[in-house]
A and B are shown apart, each in its own frame.
Chain A
Amino acid sequence: MLGYIIRRIIQAIIVILGVSLIVFLLSQLIPGGQARAALGPKATPLQIAHFNRLNGYNQPLWVQYWHYILSIIKGDLGYSYKNNQGVTALILNRLPKTLVLVGSSTILALIIAIPLGMAQAVRRNQAFDYVMTGVSFFLYAIPAFLIGELLIIWFSFDLNWFPSQPPTSASPWAIITDPRAFVLPVFSLAALTIAAFSRYMRSSVLDTLGEDYIRTAKAKGASPRRVLYGHAFRNALLPILTLIGLSLPAIVGGALIVETVFNYPGMGLLTVQAAANDDVPLVLGTTLVATAATVLGSLLADVLYAAADPRIRLGGD
């Protein structure tokens, strides 16, 4: 078990380093380099040279990369000229908001998807199942940004029940000042994950219901309800943890889109804006943090699964 965790942590570090290298190399391909992106159209060659010298952009690539890695270890993710702030400070400001968005929508999705999946499994191949499958497919097929935009059109423009943008403020907890602004983004993000989770829950419960120990329980006279909730539910739940871990990259990506649609001031929106501005240190920083969060999140999910399932724990790896 410990070996497994250590291996996964090493793997996580490799992933993060790899991603940082890729984005770093990509950023070198921007024509004109960092100087043009920061100084803008009026820059004379003299000013560009001065800027490059000042910022060390005239050093060899591997030197720059090495300095970058060193500063990451110290917690300094660089500096964004466009915002005149440190990247770390910017991310620390936005990350909690994204975590709140991703967390709430995942929880909401689970609350809806788990009972839904179970109900579908129990009523397999009946009308309810078909209808819910259809709805699932439909939700899954809607592009993330379309759900967001439609919700805005219906509930914000037409009905005016919810605002379409959250309040802009520097404080990470500003979102709490207007909880109504939170509703539409969370629902948009949850809608996609509900579809995937409920399908998975459905097949997971079906598989479990077919297992030997379920038949044994039934033979022993346990009531269907006890069978369902006592045995099937608990055992079918375990893979959900892994599923969450595996879905994290998709959810984080979905958050990026939802944040763009709703102008929700989180990490995703920050990344999109940074990319549009060719603000390389910021893009590097947000991509790294997103990767780290995803990797660690799925690591956590796997560890929890391994800890919960005695078969895995005792079986070793």
Chain B
Amino acid sequence: MNAMLRQLGGIALFVAVVACIPLFTKSGVVLNFVMMALYAALLAQAWNILGGFGGQFSFGHALFFGTGAYIQAMAQLQGGLNPWLALVLAVSGSAAIGLMVGALTFRYGLKGSYFALVTLAFAEVFRILALSVPFTGAGVGLMIPLAESFANMQFASRKGYLYLILGFVSAALLVTWWLKHSRFGAYLQAVRDNEDAARAVGVNPFTVKLGAIGLSSALMGAGGAFYVQVFQYIDPGIAFGPGTSVEALVAAIVGGIGTLWGPVLGAVVLHVLADITRNLFGQLPGINMVIYGVVLVLIVMFLPRGIAGLGATVKSLFSKKGKP
């Protein structure tokens, strides 16, 4: 009980501190950095729910990101809906796609590497569809007209977007916190650690994993909707291409999967690294991703529990005298 409340206090403190940042600085660079780091954190948190707590490594989380982004754009452009209403549609639409993909793959018992590959293939199918059908604007993409107001979910300064994404990130933190302490979360982690044993004690792995992919894809869809509101543009490559899938996965793994703060930590560390390389090398194409790739390889090789698991990894190094 104590740990539960302490973590809740930690979340409240984090939200309060981040919310105060715009009070101390008007610098667009700083606010933009915080906003983008929070955005990356949201994607990593979404991935962590399915990958970290559920043990199902998705290589195609862009599928849910892109679905959310396109629904957000199309509901406004073609449906004439208010962006806040569109957001509700985007989140539930991505969750629906997540449940559909989950129902198909988990029904047929796809696990491990096969699950990773099949999610990647689903994202590719959606990318090609978005390129081919007329109502997504095909290769040209969709553009949201500029109309800055709170009702339009478009803000004149980064401050507004920062509060919006902070809202999403705290929702994701609360969901993760709930997973750590609820019966459902315990079921999910039991299925991750040993599916047969979990089934033997009466847990239904199928419904538990389905719940996880539903939550994960809903948050990912919120990330997609946020992207559309900030950049007012989406195209098939941004929406369903492998870039977003990789970003979500790398940040979660670098930070430490299956933890409350790992994804946030990973996203911040990666963004600081990206900023440093940008200052050192300028805007060279690809340099950021080279760093991400190298960090991913090094973390998996030497810190399999991520930065958040650093303490545990070091401890096991000394206690067993063997490999971590």
- Decide whether A and B assemble into one complex: no
Interface positions of A (Cβ within 8 A of B):
none
Interface positions of B (Cβ within 8 A of A):
none
